[in-house]
Amino acid sequence: MLKRVDYDLTQHAGYAKGRALLPLSRANWLRAFREHAGTGPVRTVLDVGSGTGRFTPVLADGFAADVTGVEPSERMREIAQAEAAHPDVTYLPGSAAELPVPDASADLALMFLVWHHVPDKAAAAAELARALRPGARLLIATTLSDRLKDLLIYRYFPRTKEIDTALFPSRAETAELFAEVGFDEAALVEVHHRSSDTLAEYAERQRMRALSVYEHLTDEEYEEGMAALEADAAAETEPTPVEAECDLLVLARR
């Protein structure tokens, strides 16, 4: 059993910098969100597990909508309020299982790299069903255990692949859980995500240890991987972008 990651302890510190979105990735994700937002106007959006607000203002601008960022970690919320403020965004305390919004009030919800952190997934699915109006879409950007990608992190930190397999539910498990509370799977698409323009930049970001999976590694495992990565980064002659096709599961509220 893997321990829960508490973003109030360490992860908040390097998150905004270590996980900053490159313009290319921001554009690719927004395009996918817009393509899969369903029919009908999108005026009210929930960013569930909004963290430091990486996507929250992007949603407000991209949909010209009011966005509520719901985030349980006080430290992550404080950073969002300070660094990702937007006139149409409100950051509120809460969690996927306790959304501080009325019934059927949201036209769209995003959960970006949040689902694996949610302890009571059945309660969260039911709560999301309560908050979204009929016909609304729920966009879940997540790793799925039966669709692991060939990520660079697995090469330098091999045990992270094992951890991801244990941590993430499969596509079928996720779709079934949501089907029980009133969602149909509308699509599963891949979004091209570039996390760094060069290996050197990637190494610098990994040095911030701002990935929750690193909390499950020993310091020795982490340092061993970093040494190999930093050696390769130092030997980089041509810029090597670090990219992956990431899954976006699209669920439609019945």
Ligand X SMILES: C[S@@+](CC[C@H](N)C(=O)[O-])C[C@H]1O[C@@H](n2cnc3c(N)ncnc32)[C@H](O)[C@@H]1O
CB closer to ligand X out of 193 and 253: 193
* 3-state DSSP assignment of residue 6: coil
CB closer to ligand X out of 54 and 253: 54
Question: Pairing mode, if any, of strands 183-196 and 106-112?
Answer: unpaired
Alpha helices in the chain (DSSP H): 12-18, 23-35, 56-63, 74-83, 121-131, 152-156, 159-167, 171-180, 199-207, 219-234
| Stretch binding ligand X (CB under 6 A), from 32-40, 71-79, 156-164, 233-241 | 71-79
Q: How far apart are CA 170 and CA 42, in angstroms?
A: 29
Query: Smallest distance, Å, CB 126 to ligand X?
Result: 13
Residues numbered 181 to 200 that lie near ligand X (CB under 6 A) are none
Whether the Cβ atoms of residue 108 and residue 37 lie closer than 8 Å to each other: yes
Query: Smallest distance, Å, CB 47 to ligand X?
Result: 7
Query: Smallest distance, Å, CB 127 to ligand X?
Result: 9
Whether the Cβ atoms of residue 12 and residue 52 lie closer than 8 Å to each other: yes
32 belongs to the binding site for ligand X (CB under 6 A): no
112 belongs to the binding site for ligand X (CB under 6 A): yes
> Largest Cα–Cα distance of the chain, in whole Å?
55
Query: With CB under 6 A, what is the number of residues at the site for ligand X?
Result: 20
Q: Which residue in 239, 236, 213, 237 sits closest to 225, CA to CA?
A: 213
129 belongs to the binding site for ligand X (CB under 6 A): no
In the structure encoding, which two tokens stand for residue 49, read together? 């597990």
CB closer to ligand X out of 246 and 252: 246
Binding-site member from 33, 45, 46, 51 for ligand X (CB under 6 A): 51
Binding-site member from 113, 125, 229, 246 for ligand X (CB under 6 A): 113
Residues numbered 82 to 111 that lie near ligand X (CB under 6 A) are 95-96
142 belongs to the binding site for ligand X (CB under 6 A): no
Angle of helix 171-180 versus helix 121-131 axis, rounded to 10 = 50
Query: In the complex, which residues of this chain contact ligand X (CB under 6 A)?
Result: 7, 19, 48-51, 54-55, 71-73, 76, 95-96, 112-114, 117-118, 212
